[in-house]
A and B are shown apart, each in its own frame.
Chain A
């Protein structure tokens, strides 16, 4: 059966998506850790089904300024991966790569921004590789694109994708951070599959 709306999904579907997220994030975190030479902690992913107006609250409200990065995925699965990096993460990256302190978004230059794109690229590749080898589906990723702006405006990108089919957004929310960090707020890596792709995923994994 093909689901048309995310409201039709049951707890079993949510479990499957959580597991997919878990494996994907595990791989992405391993890449990040070896790349950065730092320990990386991950949390159990959350599959969230939220109204359009609730999403921005997760990253500190619609007008909170954040660094977002978008990677489109296509092939057998269509959708997007969206990162929202928290300041602790940005500071760590700045420190390891450039030996600099991070003070404000305005001060980031092109070189520094492209370092974040590269990290996103590596993490997304490992995430998608894991998904792909588990499901046997072919998945492509685009070049990352960075945007520093209001959280609400950044998160409206996945919302609009889902607005075509319903009133809510489904995303697999994986949070990660560097080991030993005192900051409770972590960076988020959000996988947003399109409705058709969700059906394909479930079918491939034998979940009805």
Chain B
């Protein structure tokens, strides 16, 4: 029996098998799934914005930003016994829901770029992504298999 752990907007959580981490309806937000296969630990963060340094009162909720959210996710996983060198990443989201959102303010794209850059700096390998375009995505991350299932209205179910 799999237990599904729901992760809200600007939140994160970690799990061990048979846990499944889920986050619903990612628009411009990005869902970051980290997996340490060796130690059997997975984590998922649902971030909204690329950079905590751009915010006036970032300290209110650090899980909102790519930089601080990812840092906390890594630390939480380490606390459960995971090691940074064993982690791989899969990401989803970062869409642009409406065309009127001007290109320069395309927060989805900026979120994805920020996450990729951060992962690179941590030397975490990005092994799969389903990002960009203009549709919402729901993510189920199965910690036992490391499969990230992405559900959307237009594309149906995609397993990555």
- Name the residue on B nearest A53 (C-beta): B8
B61 CB → nearest A CB, Å:
6
Q: Which residues of A contact B9 (CB under 8 A)?
A: 52-53, 156, 159
Q: Counting CB contacts under 8 A, is A181 at the interface?
A: no
CB < 8 Å neighbour of A145 from B8, B48, B100:
B100
Interface residues on A, range: 20 to 34
Using a CB-CB cutoff of 8 Å, which residues 132-188 of chain A contact chain B?
Answer: 142-145, 147-154, 156-157, 159-160, 163-167
Partner of B153, one of A70, A148, A159, A163: A148
- With A62-B24, A152-B136, A166-B60 in contact, do A147 and B97 touch (Cβ < 8 Å)? yes
Question: Ordered nearest first, which 3 A-B pairs have the shortest CB separation?
Answer: A152-B25, A153-B136, A153-B27
Instruction: List which A41-57 residues lie within 8 A (CB) of chain B.
Output: 52-53, 56
Q: Residues of A at under 8 Å CB distance from B?
A: 4-5, 52-53, 56, 62-63, 65, 68, 70-72, 142-145, 147-154, 156-157, 159-160, 163-167
10 additional contacts (CB under 8 A) given A148-B153, A160-B29: A68-B97, A149-B135, A150-B27, A152-B136, A154-B27, A156-B48, A157-B97, A163-B10, A164-B49, A164-B56
Looking at the assembled complex, report how far the CB atom of B50 sits from the nearest CB atom of chain A, in whole angstroms.
Answer: 11
Nearest-neighbour CB distance to chain B for A21, whole angstroms, equals 21
Which residues of the other chain, A, contact B55 by a CB distance below 8 angstroms? Answer: 163-165
Residue contact A156 to B29, C-beta cutoff 8 Å: yes
Return A138 CB to nearest CB of chain B, in Å. Answer: 19
In contact, B27 and A157 (Cβ under 8 angstroms): yes
A63 to B25 Cα, complex, angstroms: 6
Contacts of A143 in B (CB 8 A): 100
Task: Enumerate B97-127 residues with CB–CB distance to A below 8 Å.
Answer: 97-102, 107
